[in-house]
């Protein structure tokens, strides 16, 4: 009786050990690789209960979820020679477990390798852009560029980078940056003032020149008009004189009398003076 019990118990233990060594369970968020003498063999095992050869084969489990790694804060230099601190992260997942295990073995090694790839591409992309483009105008385009180039390098490791994002950008030594920006704004303000004063002088000079030209033209026109009027007056006088010279002499003599003989004025003439002929 005891022999049969011991034999049965021994068989049960052996069967239990064999079952535990030949069966393994893959979770919903995992995929498994079966290793034979340390080398992975296809196919990749799906979630659920799977089997392997006991003692000869073993199973390793890989994440099937999206994983995240942070890139430590670092300083980057932009194309306009501005230094700033950048903090970012990346999301990734395993796309080919067989290639992944053969080249990287674990998620920790993969995270370090991908961190180096993304960091290199990010610095390269930022180095070709100006600070305002990195922070504002072209931030999304830069992230897309980094994502595409990083993915090309990551494909050979059997992984895909899902997303790359900048969490925060910050200027180092804020007071020095503020002082430099303040000095730059003052320099620009002085430049604009100088340009404004130069433009003011130019406009005033042009206005004064136009004024002088207008006055000169007006003076010339006035002289021409006056000359023309004087010529017409002389002609009229000449015509009048030629028409009746005696009357003209008489009228001019009256003007002389009117101007010469004022009140309390005493003038001595001889009787034969031509000026007095109209008194005779």
Q: Which domain holds residue 97?
A: 67-172
Domain end call among 146, 172, 198: 172
88 lies in the same domain as 25? no
158/107 Cα distance (integer angstroms): 12
Is the pTM value of this prediction over 0.75?
no
122 vs 116: CA distance, rounded Å: 10
CA distance to 70, 216, 235, per residue, from 230 (Å) = 99, 21, 8
CA 148/CA 162 separation, integer angstroms: 10
Residue 78, domain CATH: 3.30.479.30
Query: Quick one: pLDDT at residue 159?
Result: 92
Model pLDDT for residues 214-255, shown as the tens digit of each residue = 998 898 888 889 888 888 887 887 776 676 666 667 777 777
Residue 72 sits in the same domain as residue 115 = yes
- Closest by CA position to 167, among listed 84, 90, 88, 73: 88
pLDDT, tens digit, for every residue of 3-49? 655 666 666 666 555 555 667 778 788 788 788 777 777 666 777 77
Q: Which of 32, 63, 94 is the last residue of a domain?
A: 63
Do 17 and 93 sit in the same domain of this protein?
A: no
What would the pLDDT profile of 61-119 be if each residue is shown by its tens digit?
888 888 888 887 777 777 777 777 778 888 999 888 888 888 888 888 988 999 889 88
Q: Is residue 10 part of a domain?
A: yes
Number of domains the chain contains: 3
């Amino acid at each position: 009786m005891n022999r049969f019990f011991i034999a049965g118990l021994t068989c049960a233990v052996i069967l239990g050990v064999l079952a535990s060594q030949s069966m393994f369970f893959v979770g919903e968020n995992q995929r498994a690789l079966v290793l034979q003498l340390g080398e992975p063999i296809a196919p990749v095992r799906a979630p659920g209960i799977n089997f392997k050869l006991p003692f000869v084969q073993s199973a390793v489990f890989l994440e099937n979820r999206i994983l995240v790694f942070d890139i430590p804060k670092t300083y980057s230099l932009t194309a306009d020679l501005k230094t700033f601190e950048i903090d970012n992260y990346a999301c990734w997942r395993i796309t080919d477990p067989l290639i992944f295990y053969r080249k990287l073995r674990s998620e920790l090694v993969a995270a370090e390798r991908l961190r180096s790839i993304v960091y290199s591409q990010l610095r390269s992309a930022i180095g070709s852009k100006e600070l305002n483009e990195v922070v504002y105008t072209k931030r999304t385009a830069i992230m897309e560029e980094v994502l595409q180039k990083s993915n090309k390098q990551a494909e050979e490791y059997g992984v895909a980078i899902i997303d790359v994002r900048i969490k925060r950008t910050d200027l180092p030594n804020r007071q020095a940056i503020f002082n430099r920006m303040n000095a730059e704004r003052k320099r620009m303000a002085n430049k604009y003032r100088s340009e404004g004063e130069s433009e003011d002088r130019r406009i005033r000079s042009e206005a004064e020149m136009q004024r002088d030209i207008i006055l000169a033209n007006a003076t010339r026109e006035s002289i021409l008009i006056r000359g023309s009027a004087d010529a017409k007056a002389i002609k009229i006088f000449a015509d009048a004189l030629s028409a009746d010279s005696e009357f003209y002499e008489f009228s001019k003599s009256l003007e002389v009398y009117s101007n010469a003989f004022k009140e309390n004025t005493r003038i001595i003439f001889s009787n034969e003076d031509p000026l007095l002929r109209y008194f005779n």
